[in-house]
């Protein structure tokens, strides 16, 4: 029964990725001269894709907090593992900022390219300014951008300090920052969402084997743009870390 479930999920996952690869390729082809319309359609279908991936992995999402009214914003979140991309992508229509290595992920990397993901090579510090400008341009074009300012995945027990550099894009564009927290709960394997030292393939296989993964997305109030990127990063981090630690401590007592 377990094997049948894994095969079914894997087939659904591969079919979903293949279908949206065709959609992404077609949108890029048809709207090659209309950048804004192309990005708008891609963001819309990327959200649908993320929801399909969550369905294939049986990820159950609960959203807490009221979504504030905003046209677009720099969305920042803590980073636990690869499911973050699918979970948050299903909640928001965004352009992702991602590490360069994602390009090498089977199918996902191709889709990320089609979705005009902003890739960051963390070994090249001179690229930071280019990334900030890319984020600012997307924000100014009316699109929300989502990044993980911890700049790495965590062990799931805490929220690491946020790197402040990319918050500069919110200042340059005058757009607000929207802090978002993602937390996972699973009675059989609480650590399943965490990346650890696994390769992407083994991480996905572990998720396919897992019966269900519960994810909670907490949306905090908007933080207006300011002139201090460190202030923006600290305020965002404090909101997320406080709430995350409350959950971790509560679970530890239980």
Q: Tell whether 254 is covered by a domain.
A: no
Q: How far apart are CA 190 and CA 160, in angstroms?
A: 19
Q: Does an H or E element contain 90, and which?
A: helix 83-91
Q: How far apart are CA 122 and CA 96, in angstroms?
A: 15
Q: Which residues contact 41 (CB under 8 A, 6 or more apart)?
A: 27, 31
Determine the structural domain holding residue 135 and report its residue range: 2-244
| Chain segment 160-193, per-residue pLDDT in tens | 999 999 999 999 999 999 999 999 886 455 566 6
| Chain segment 225-236, per-residue pLDDT in tens | 888 999 999 999
Number of structural domains (the chain) is 1
Would you state the pLDDT for residue 193?
64
Q: Tell whether 161 is covered by a domain.
A: yes
Q: At what angle do helices 83-91 and 35-56 cross, to 10 degrees?
A: 120
Taking the model in full, what pTM does it have? 0.87
Would you state the pLDDT for residue 32?
73
| Chain segment 2-17, per-residue pLDDT in tens | 677 778 777 878 887 7
* Contact indicator for 236, 76 with CB cutoff of 8 Å: yes
* Contact indicator for 86, 50 with CB cutoff of 8 Å: yes
Q: What is the CATH number of the domain that holds 124?
A: 3.40.1130
Q: At what angle do helices 200-209 and 2-30 cross, to 10 degrees?
A: 130
Q: Tell whether 253 is covered by a domain.
A: no
Q: Tell whether 99 is covered by a domain.
A: yes
Q: Does an H or E element contain 208, and which?
A: helix 200-209
The number of beta carbons lying within 10 Å of the beta carbon of residue 155 is: 11
Would you state the pLDDT for residue 28?
76
The first and second tokens of residue 156, run together, are 């799931």
Residues in the chain predicted with pLDDT less than 50, given as ranges, are: 187
What is residue 123's DSSP assignment? Answer: T
Closest CA to 111 of 52, 182, 31, 186: 52
Would you state the pLDDT for residue 132?
93
Q: Does an H or E element contain 147, and which?
A: strand 144-147
Q: Which residues contact 173 (CB under 8 A, 6 or more apart)?
A: 74, 136, 139, 140, 225
Q: Tell whether 251 is covered by a domain.
A: no
Q: Tell whether 252 is covered by a domain.
A: no
Would you state the pLDDT for residue 235?
95
Q: Tell whether 198 is covered by a domain.
A: yes
* Contact indicator for 138, 47 with CB cutoff of 8 Å: no
Q: Tell whether 250 is covered by a domain.
A: no
Q: What is the b/e burial string over 103-126, where b = at least 16 CB atoms within 10 angstroms of the residue's CB?
A: eebeebbebbebbbbbbbeeeeee
Would you state the pLDDT for residue 187?
44
């Amino acid at each position: 029964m377990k094997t049948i479930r894994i095969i079914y999920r894997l087939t659904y996952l591969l079919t979903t990725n293949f279908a949206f690869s065709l959609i992404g390729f077609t949108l890029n082809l048809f709207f090659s001269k209309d950048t804004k319309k192309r990005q708008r359609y891609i963001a819309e279908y990327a959200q649908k894709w993320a929801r399909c991936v969550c369905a294939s992995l049986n990820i159950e999402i609960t959203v807490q907090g009221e979504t504030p009214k905003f046209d677009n914003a720099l969305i920042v979140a803590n980073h636990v593992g690869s499911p973050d991309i699918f979970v948050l992508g299903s909640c928001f229509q965004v352009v992702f900022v991602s590490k360069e290595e994602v390009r090498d992920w089977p199918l996902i990397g191709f889709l990320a390219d089609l979705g005009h993901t902003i890739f960051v090579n963390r070994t090249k510090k001179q690229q930071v300014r280019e990334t900030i400008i890319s984020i600012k341009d997307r924000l100014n074009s009316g699109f929300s951008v989502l990044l993980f300012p911890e700049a790495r995945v965590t062990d799931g027990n805490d929220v690491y300090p946020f790197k402040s550099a990319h918050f500069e894009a919110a200042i340059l564009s005058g757009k607000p920052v929207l802090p978002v927290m993602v937390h996972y709960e699973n009675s059989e394997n609480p650590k399943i969402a965490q990346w650890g030292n696994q390769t992407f393939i083994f991480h996905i296989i572990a998720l396919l084997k897992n019966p269900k993964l519960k994810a909670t997305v907490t949306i905090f109030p908007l933080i207006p743009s300011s002139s201090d990127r460190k202030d923006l990063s600290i305020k965002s981090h404090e909101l997320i870390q406080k709430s995350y630690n409350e959950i971790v401590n509560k679970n530890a007592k239980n």
